[in-house]
Chains A and B, each alone.
Chain A
Amino acid sequence: MAVNDEEHRRASSRAEEFLQVFKKGAEFTQELLKENERLRFQVLRLQEAQKKSTPAGSDNEEIVRLQRRIDELEQEKSEILDRIKEVEAENLDFANRYVDIENENNMLANLYIASYQLHSTLDFNEVLQIILEIIINLIGGEQFAIMLLDEKNKYLKGFAAEGLEVDELPEITLGDGIIGTMAQTGENYFVDDLEGYQKDFTNPMVCIPLKIKEHVIGVIVIYSLLEQKSKFAEVDYELFTLLAGHAATAIFSSKLYSESERKLSTIQGFIDLMTK
């Protein structure tokens, strides 16, 4: 009986122990369930947050559309920039052409003034003076001369000069050297090496025949240019030829006028003598 009691007591103690363990297990399970619930809730919240930050399918389409639009605009921008470059190049071209036309306009205006001045008088010396002024102010000559042809004796003689004395100039026979040859052929002469040119009265740096149509009446010879004029501009060559034509006509007319004036004066004197 005592043994039974003892066994009964032991069994009851073990049952109590088991109950205690079971209770602890139940509490632990409860805690795990709570933790599980809390974590689930947190996962849900994170998923929602991610949903908000990550675009959905329709948002992706919008992005693709916008990207396409950006590409189009980039293309458009590139085309506009190309067009701007083209317009800038055109503008530059127009500006250069404007400068060219302006220069040509200035040259023509100057030529108009020069020819107007040349034909403004019939005084031979005044005409020669005007030619000298034109060569200084329009062409930039420093030492130069006007030589006229003695048609009877076939030689050229200095009549007016600037920067040198007329007497210094040699008489040139028609056909001799550069001056004589240019007077004979009627062609313009420009020395090849302008910088290396050394002054020589028989070999000028420039020789321009004074022509009325094909008839040469003299030449303009240039021996040096102004310090600031290192070379001839394109327009100068044109200017030389045009001026030479006007100068020749002016010289020829004034010479004829002077001669006729002289003859008239002689005849008038003779008539006066006869009628007295």
Chain B
Amino acid sequence: MTTYKVLIVEDSPTMRQLIVFALKRLRGLQIVEANDGVDGLKKLSTEKFDLILTDINMPIMDGLKLVSLVRNDPSYKEVPIVIITTEGANEDRERALALGANEYITKPIQTTKIIEAATRLLGL
């Protein structure tokens, strides 16, 4: 069975747990957690991931900066990125998608949408 590695970048431990719990319903996922953008980048430099889920508003490095850096890295050019954020304005969505995010999901948590996005982007 193929195992997909998923990176969750989120500063709120509660939200991280909510996302982890949602994704655990899908089989064959190995989930790694990061507290912020910098922590996420560190993990991306040491491991290969098949999917990244990130918040936008985080200390040290926000999610948009992370998306931009990831998209400029040739080894992560194609890896799907899902944004999960409190920012619900259209401009925020468009900005994130223009930077290279594949999916934009707003908070409060939408478990079904997260599962659907992961299923589709990983081709499960």
What residues of chain A have their CB less than 8 Å away from a CB belonging to chain B?
102-103, 106, 109-110, 112-114, 116-117, 130, 133-134, 136-140, 142, 226-229
Instruction: Chain B residues near A102: list those with CB within 8 A.
Output: 112
6 A-B residue pairings within 8 Å (CB atoms):
A106-B111, A109-B21, A110-B21, A116-B17, A133-B13, A229-B108
Contacting pair A140 B14 (CB below 8 A): no
Chain A residue at smallest Cβ distance from B86: A226
Cα A116 to Cα B21 in complex, Å, equals 12
Note all chain A residues with C-beta closer than 8 A to B12: 133, 136-137
User: Is there contact, CB below 8 Å, between B88 and A228?
Assistant: yes
* A134, B63: Cα distance in complex, Å: 20
Bound Cα distance A103, B107 (Å): 15
- List chain B residues, Cβ under 8 A from A109: 21-22, 111
Taking a contact as CB atoms under 8 Å apart, the answer to whether B88 and A226 are in contact is yes
Q: Which one of A113, A138, A142 has the highest number of Cβ atoms from chain B below 10 Å of its Cβ?
A: A113
B15 within 8 A of A: yes
Whose C-beta in chain B lies nearest to the C-beta of A239? B108
**Interface residues, chain B, with chain A CB atoms under 8 Å away:** 12-15, 17-18, 21-22, 86, 88-89, 106-109, 111-112
Considering the chains assembled together, what is the distance between the CA atoms of A102 and B115 in angstroms?
12
- Are B112 and A139 neighbours in the complex by a CB distance under 8 Å? no
Q: Is the CB of B109 within 8 A of A137?
A: yes
Residue of B nearest to A112 (CB): B21
Contacts of A137 in B (CB 8 A): 12, 14-15, 18, 107-109
Give the docked Cα–Cα distance between A112 and B89 (Å): 30
Q: Which residues of B contact A140 (CB under 8 A)?
A: 86, 107-108
Residue contact B88 to A114, C-beta cutoff 8 Å: no
Query: In whole angstroms, how far apart are the Cα atoms of A120 and B12 in the complex?
Result: 14
Task: Say what secondary structure dominates the interface of chain A.
Answer: helix
Nearest A residue to B20 via CB reads: A113
Q: Please determine whether A113 and B108 come into contact, CB atoms closer than 8 angstroms.
A: no
Q: CA–CA, A226 to B88, complex, Å?
A: 7
Residues of the A chain whose Cβ atoms lie less than 8 Å from the Cβ of B109: 110, 137-138
Contacts of A103 in B (CB 8 A): 112
**Nearest chain B CB to A119 CB, angstrom units:** 12
Q: How far is the CB of A160 from chain B (nearest CB, A)?
A: 14
Q: Which residues of B contact A113 (CB under 8 A)?
A: 14, 17-18, 21
- Complex CA–CA separation, A142 to B112 (angstroms): 22
Q: For the complex, what is the distance from the CA of A137 to the CA of B22, rounded to whole Å?
A: 14
> Assuming A109-B21, A113-B21, A137-B15, is B89 touching A227 (CB within 8 A)?
yes
Task: Determine if A117 and B88 form an interchain contact, defined as CB atoms under 8 angstroms apart.
Answer: no
Across the interface, which residues of B come within 8 angstroms of A228, CB to CB? Answer: 88, 106
In the assembled complex, the Cα of A229 lies from the Cα of B108 at a distance in Å of 8
How far in angstroms is the closest Cβ of chain B from A251? 15
Report the Cα distance A229→B14, complex, angstroms.
Answer: 20
With beta carbons under 8 angstroms apart, the residue of B13, B86, B89, B106 that contacts A117 is B13
Q: Which 3 A-B pairs have the closest CB atoms?
A: A228-B88, A140-B108, A106-B111
Q: How far is the CA of A228 from the CA of B106 in the complex (A)?
A: 8
Q: Which residues of A contact B107 (CB under 8 A)?
A: 136-137, 140, 226
Task: Report which residue of B13, B22, B107, B108 has the largest number of chain A beta carbons within 10 angstroms of its beta carbon.
Answer: B108
A114 & B112 in contact (Cβ 8 Å cutoff):
no
